[in-house]
Structure formats: structure tokens, C-alpha cells
Amino acid sequence: MTPRERWLAVLSGERPDRVPTDYWATGEVTERLFRELGCPDARLLWAKLEVDKSIHTGAALRDPRPGRANTSVWGVQKTSIAYGGGIGVYQESVSHPLGEARTVEEIRSYPWPNPAWWDVSDVRKACEDWPDYPRIGGSYEPFLLYCSLRGMEQAFEDLVSNPELAETALQIIYDIHEDIVRRTLDAAGDLIDFIYVAEDLGSQDSLLMSPAAFRRFIKPRMAKMIELVHSYGVKVFHHDDGAIRPLLPELLDLGVDVLNPIQWRCKGMARDGLARDFGERAVFHGAVDNQETLPFGTEEDVRQEVLENIELFSPGRGYICAPCHNIQPNTPTANILALYRTVREYGTPPRRRATTTRLAKGGSL
């Protein structure tokens, strides 16, 4: 089967020849794999790893405004910030152009980008360029963007002290994305497999906002976006970090098809409980831990965790094996190879009673 056939088989309730995989990593890790595996480009790397990589094929941004270096289309200035003693860099916001706004009118009069700047004319070709791989055709992650525009502390404070400002900005952000997603699906909905509908609602130990705040500020527009995507026969790939178990029933009620990243070391996110309570409601994606197992474990630790994930998550709606977030530069190449090698070799193993019993008792690697 091709990578796309594996993903679509799982999503349709069929049994693929092996568990599908995906690849998420920082740029530094990918560049290292290019060098060490002798792959000059991404297409050859996916083939070398035999990974069923999801390919982003959405609209192309054509911002007509000059002099926008290091500034996003939303007006947020970015810079590269080193972390981990210089092992890598992330792009971080260094300006918050709506940070001083105090009225709804200031939010409305902000120079928001025109959704027409996202050009969908080449989306079909972008999909056709990757005939054998699953395709993601666009993304929507509103509160993360709002945090960049307002500053994170102010954005969360707004949910309590300035709710009208937050509602106004989040609605504008939704309207822009709805236009882009709709035009993208009009152009190539028959070739697109997923739209990425995301939010980061959890920390390592708890929710980042109350369920009441989620229901007021996030859920209604997320529901509309998911409904729009499904109206074209396209699936929803939902990314949500951290300890989000209290919100999982409501998120799944919205119609999430693929749930990522399954950060099972976070509070309340034990794999056996998630599989038991939600395994029939969504395809699980991720769950190979990138906080401890991948960077600090052995190849055998990685192998064992992959096998446990396959056994736990596959019997429900299905499982796509991948790291639970971007693989970091402190991860040994051998552990990355062990992840994908294990799926190739044991992608459809028999159920192992000993592993199930141990996990049911709360065990972990």
C-alpha cells in the first residue's frame, strides 16, 4: 500500500497492511537526517525511512506589502531564539501589535490581512505532486495567533477582563481562515485529505483555560470550522498539546477525526485510559514520547513504546504512529530509526496480554 492508502484505510475503518506512520521534527533534525542518510531532499528521506509523511499542500501566501522581513502577515515580528544551549532555534514573537489595544474599535481597525492574499490557484498541482502521500490542505489555530497578537499574558487575561476584545479578534481570525479554507476546498477538496484544526489547550499538568472559557471563546468557532471541512467530505486533523483529558469528550463531540499528539506523560493522559475511553471515537496520532523516550531512552525503549502504542490504540478506530511532537535535536538518530524500523517489522503484531496487563496497572517505560 502507498502511504496515502494506509492513512485512508485507517480512516475508513479498514485494516492497512501495517500501521501508518508520520514524521514531525525540527529543521535541525531533518537536516541531520539528510546528511547522515544521504538523502538530498525530503521526498527521498520519506522513502528511505519508509514513513507515511503527511504533506502540507495548502494555499500560497502572496503578501503584497513591501518591507515585511521578519514580520508575519499578521504584523507580528519574529526572531530566532536559541534553546538547549544552542542545539536548535525556534521562531518566537518579539512584538505584539495589538498589545496596547483597549477597545473593540481598535481591534476592528487593525490592518488585518486580506484573505485573498492566500492564493489557491496552485493547490491542485501541489496535491498532484504528492500522489502517494496524505495531504493536509490548510490550518486554523486561532488562540495561538491571538496570543502572538496580544502577548500571551494579556491574551489569557482578556478571557476574564476583556472578553469583548477577545471575542472580536477571534471572530475576525475565524472569518479570515474560513474564507481561505473554503476557497482551498472549492479548488481541490477532492484531492485534500485533511484540514489541520488545532489549539494548545493544555500544559504539562492542567488545562491552560477553564472549560467555561473553552466553551465561550474556542468551541463555537471550532465547531463551525469542523462542520465546514466535513461538508466537503474532508477529515479534520486536530492537534492539542498537554493535559487536555477534561476537554476530550467535547472535542470529540465536535467531530475530530484524527487526534494528535497524545502526550501521555502529561497528567491524566495515560495511554490505557485514553484507548479505553476514547479509542472508538477518533484515530490516535503520535504518542511516541519526545520528552524522555526518544531523546534519552535506548533503542529498545523506543521499540517497546512503539509496540505498546500499536497494541493499545490500533484495536479502536486506529492508530498512526508518530512522535508526540517535533523530534528535538538532542534525539539520537538511532532512536529515530528504531521508531520507524519497529513499525516496518512489527506493524501488525498479535495482541500481547503481558503488556496490556502491565499498562492497565499504571506501568510505563
For 154-190, the pLDDT digits (tens) are: 999 999 999 999 999 999 999 999 999 999 999 999 9
Report which DSSP code applies to 197: E
Q: For residues 285 and 239, what is the distance between their CA atoms, to the nearest angstrom?
A: 9
CB distance 145 to 74 below 8 Å? yes
Q: List the grid coordinates of 360.
A: 492497565
- Evaluate if pTM is beyond 0.85: yes
Condensed to tens digits (0 to 9), the pLDDT of residues 298-344 reads 999 999 999 999 999 999 999 999 999 999 999 999 999 999 999 99
- Average confidence (pLDDT) over 223-242: 98
* DSSP secondary structure, 37-50, as one string: HT-SSHHHHHHHHT
Condensed to tens digits (0 to 9), the pLDDT of residues 267-291 reads 999 999 999 999 999 999 999 999 9
Condensed to tens digits (0 to 9), the pLDDT of residues 107-153 reads 999 999 999 999 999 999 999 999 999 999 999 999 999 999 999 99
Binned at pLDDT 50, 70 and 90, residue 348 comes out as confident
Topology adopted by domain 3-73+101-360: TIM Barrel (3.20.20)
Please determine, for residue 352, whether its predicted confidence score (pLDDT) is greater than 70: no
CA 122 to chain centre: 23
